[in-house]
Amino acid sequence: MEGPQENAEDELILSSLPREMGWAIPDLYLFQQFWCPSILIKEVNIFQKQFEAKDSDIFVASFPKSGTTWLKAITFAIVNRQCFSSIHNHPLLTSNPHQLVPAVEFMYRGDIHCPTTEPRVFGTHTPFPSLPNSIIESKCKIIYICRNPFDIFVSAWTFFDKIKLEPLSTLKIEEAFEKYCNGIIEFGPWWSHMVGYWKESLAKPNKVLFLKYEDLKDDANFQVKKIADFLGFPFTQEEENNQVIESIIKLCSFEKMKNSEVNKSGIIYQFLEKKYFFRKGETRDWVNYFSPSMTEKLCKIIEEKFGGSGLSFMI
Ligand code: PAP
């Protein structure tokens, strides 16, 4: 527990940071160059200072609404496939992926616990430059999932509206889009988040694997094998013959997870309803929401922010 002096220091630090209204969290602070939700600043700080990474740790990193839940499920299923070989008694049928693979930022709030078995698999929305040194310096691995910024916008706009905290009211799509184009969104700007991990994946391909939601949708079999190889848990020929990859894909599929009793009700992280993590699970749903001028504006921003980085999106 913090005493009055620490609380006063925290308040002082916060009051010196630029502040904006969030989409779901009333206050976002520009902390270490990203828009950190006020309720997580202390946690991100503790994470940076205290987290001790083990060489065997695995991090599923992402910008919110990029496919985190899906990749957490796939990663958990890959690395634990020897313990839970039967699809009928798998923990993913009785726990939400966010319970099995906790977000490190929420771990310090008390309701989510650190995994006790190795390899420990964690999730994080923290941008690459703000990760603790022990993650950078250890041999642990990071898998980043990236999604096209059009679908992220729609997914975020619909999700954040459902989970928003008092006293926030519904953001009109135009208002949300304006914020999005200025990078003002929980853990934004989205472009620096993606580019940070992208560059690291190019510099250290054995440390950071950069995936795209669209590629996972397109050829899950190929991507699941790639993840398993990267993590040092490759599938044997026998496993391939026994359709182990296919059963992992099926177990983690959108339909299976959305319709699983465990994901239909209840909350995680103290205030998030599990059912809201499963909406449509499709690519290109953005065409149902974007006007021509919004499309043009976002295309320009993408060109400006990603031009020359080598990172591109199939729009
Ligand atoms: P988070 O950052 O809050 O954890 P995240 O899981 O990254 O959210 O993103 C949620 C999106 O992934 C939703 O997309 P949508 O709004 O466009 O539908 C959600 O439906 C989708 N999603 C969740 N689980 C799966 C899955 N198993 N397969 C494919 N997409 C999924």
Out of 90, 98, 113, 125, the active site residue is: 125
Torsion over CA: 274, 288, 184, 149 (sign) = positive
Mean pLDDT of 219-237: 98
pLDDT digits (tens, 9 = 90+) for 66-88: 999 999 999 999 999 999 876 77
Work out the percent of the chain whose per-residue pLDDT is above 90: 88
Q: Say what the pTM is.
A: 0.96
Maximum Cα interatomic distance, the chain, rounded to a whole number of Å: 62
The reply to whether 125 belongs to the active site is: yes
State phi, psi for 177 to the nearest 5 degrees: -65, -40
| Ligand 1 site-directed mutation target among 66, 100, 106, 155, most atoms within 8 Å of CB | 155
Mean pLDDT of 237-263: 97
C-alpha of residue 213 to centroid of ligand 1, in Å: 9
- The string of DSSP letters for 281-295 reads --SSGGGGT--HHHH
Quote the CA–CA distance of 211 and 67 in Å, as a whole number.
10
On the CB side of 277, how many CA atoms lie within 13 Å of its CA?
29
C-alpha of residue 289 to centroid of ligand 1, in Å: 17
Confidence label for 5 from pLDDT (cuts 50, 70 and 90): low
Per the structure block, which two tokens stand in for 298?
């976002």
Q: Are the CB atoms for 118 and 54 separated by under 8 Å? A: yes
pLDDT digits (tens, 9 = 90+) for 99-156: 999 999 988 877 778 899 999 999 999 999 999 999 999 999 999 999 999 999 999 9
Mean pLDDT of 284-308: 98
First to last CA, the chain: 48
Examine the pLDDT at 1 and tell me if it is beyond 60: no
Amino acid at residue number 27: D
The closest alpha carbon to 115, from 75, 70, 148, belongs to: 75
The domains found in the chain, sorted by start residue, are 30-154+178-306 (3.40.50.300)
